[in-house]
Every structure is written in C-alpha cells, then in structure tokens.
Structure 1
Amino acid sequence: MAESLWKIQLGELDEKMGVQIVEESIERVVATMPVVGNRQSFGLLHGGASLAVAEAVGSWAAVIYASSIGKTAVGVDVSATHHQSAREGSITITATPLQLGRALTSHQVLISNEAGKRLCTVRITNLLLEKK
C-alpha cells in the first residue's frame, strides 16, 4: 500500500508572515508572501524573512517526499544568496528537488518578485528520519 503524502500545515510564523500555499507536490512546492509586514527598518524585504520562508517551503517539500517513503524530514543546512530586494507587492517562493535520497534531500528554493525577477536563491538540505 502506498503511503499518503503529507499535506502542508502552516505554523505560527508562516501565518504571521502571511504565507499562502499555491501548489504542493513532490516535484514542486510553491507559496506566496506579501512584502509589507516582512520589511526591515530601511523599508526592504527582510533577508531573514526571505530565509525563513524559503526554509519553510524547502522543508515542506522534503517532508512531502519523505512521507512517500514512510519517513519525515528535518533541516540540517540552509544557505542563501540575496540578489536584490523588494519594497512592496508579493514574492513567490518555489522549491524544487536537486536530490531525493533515502537519507538526505536537497532542494533549490527560488524567491522571485511579481515580475518574475529572482530576488534570492536558497539551497536547503534535510535529513530523512524514520517516523516515531
């Protein structure tokens, strides 16, 4: 019998940041988030907000895959390159797998603005664990 795929459930921080799920599958997880409410003191999208939402979306992607093989996932590494920022509108966060293994997953997470311009590139690695 095939395992059923885990469905994304927003956490408290995700809700406070205004994250909305657009798509969820093993192949791709897509979410959106408003810039307003997630800006730093200079009026720009906060780099920490970008990293937090990217880590969430990348981890959700890993957990969806892990659930297909009867496991769960926990993040062990995340790195980001900020290319440019935004002051308004919304961002789209898209996670796609780089490697789906039996013990580790790696995902690329792209953050783009409404015009489709890349704002941030993130790579996240998750450790796959047996469910308790």
Structure 2
Amino acid sequence: MTPATGPVQTILGELDERLGIEFVHVSAERAVATMPVAGNRQITGSLHGGAYCTLAETLAALAACEHAGDGRTAVSLDISATHTGRAAAGRVTANCTAIRLGKSVAVYAIEIDDDEGRRVSTARVTTVLRDA
C-alpha cells in the first residue's frame, strides 16, 4: 500500500492505486474521491461497473474506519449499485454520505457523477465495525 497522491493523504490498497483513485475528503460522515475513466474501461468503451463498485466500497470503508475509531476497523458486508449513465472519458467523482453510524454497523450512500455532473452510478454500502 502507498500513500494517496490526491489532496487528502491516506493509504491506498493495491487495487485502489491501480484504478487511480484520489481522495479529496475523508471523514466518518462524508468522503469524496475521484477516479479516471481512462485505464478503467470495459470493452464497450465506458467505465467498468466493477470500477464504480470499487470506488464506492473504498470510500465507504475509509469513512467507516474513521467512524470506528482507534483499535477498530470496518469490513464491508454488502454493496448494491445501480449504474444509470455512461462515463467514457475524463474523471468520475464519488460523494459518500453516512446514512447510519452505529456501534457495530455503518451504512453509506455513494453517488458517482461524471465530469458534466451527470449521475452515472448510485451505490449503498453496509459495513460491520469490529475490533482490529
């Protein structure tokens, strides 16, 4: 894992690094990141659905770890995503917002937009919080 290259310094997992995810903001209540479309396209020329899901899950996991606090961690339990648009160039921006911040579970909504501000994917991630 290597430090992120974006405005927010955090640790990137190997897949996050390969996808080019850059973090803008990370807190327990809200997280924002961007990701390039180039290098992450499927054979149709648009951003791969798995890349959307990885971006969403990465943001939710980081936010949930912030919520969990020292000595605790978050593990993703469930992800649901609906891809409603097509990003073929530029970058996408994901906005992750807490729905529920409990003692053992945190749930997040993630909205992903293209450079034009059009919604291309919406996801929901549920995480379980546990001792590290």
Which is greater in Rg?
1
In structure 1, give the amino acid aligned to 2:108.
Answer: H
Aligned to 1:42: 44
- Distance apart, 1:105 and its partner CA: 0.5
**CA displacement 1:68-99 (0-9 Å, x = unmatched):** 6x521100100101111110010001111000
Aligned to 1:28: 30
Aligned to 1:89: 90
Q: What does 1:61-80 align with in structure 2 at a 5 Å threshold? A: 61-67=63-69, 70-80=71-81
Q: Structure 2 stretches of 5 or more lacking a match?
A: 1-8
In structure 1, give the amino acid aligned to 2:25.
Answer: E
Aligned to 2:119: 118
Aligned residues: 124
Q: Structure 1 stretches of 5 or more lacking a match?
A: 1-6
**SS state at 1:15 partner:** helix
**CA displacement 1:28-72 (0-9 Å, x = unmatched):** 11100000100001101101111111111111111111116x521
**Aligned sequence identity (%):** 44
Using the size of structure 1 for normalisation, the TM-score is: 0.89
Using the size of structure 2 for normalisation, the TM-score is: 0.89
Aligned to 1:11: 13
Determine the C-alpha separation between the residues in 2 that align with 1:82 and 1:11: 24
Determine the C-alpha separation between the residues in 2 that align with 1:27 and 1:99: 9
Aligned to 2:102: 101
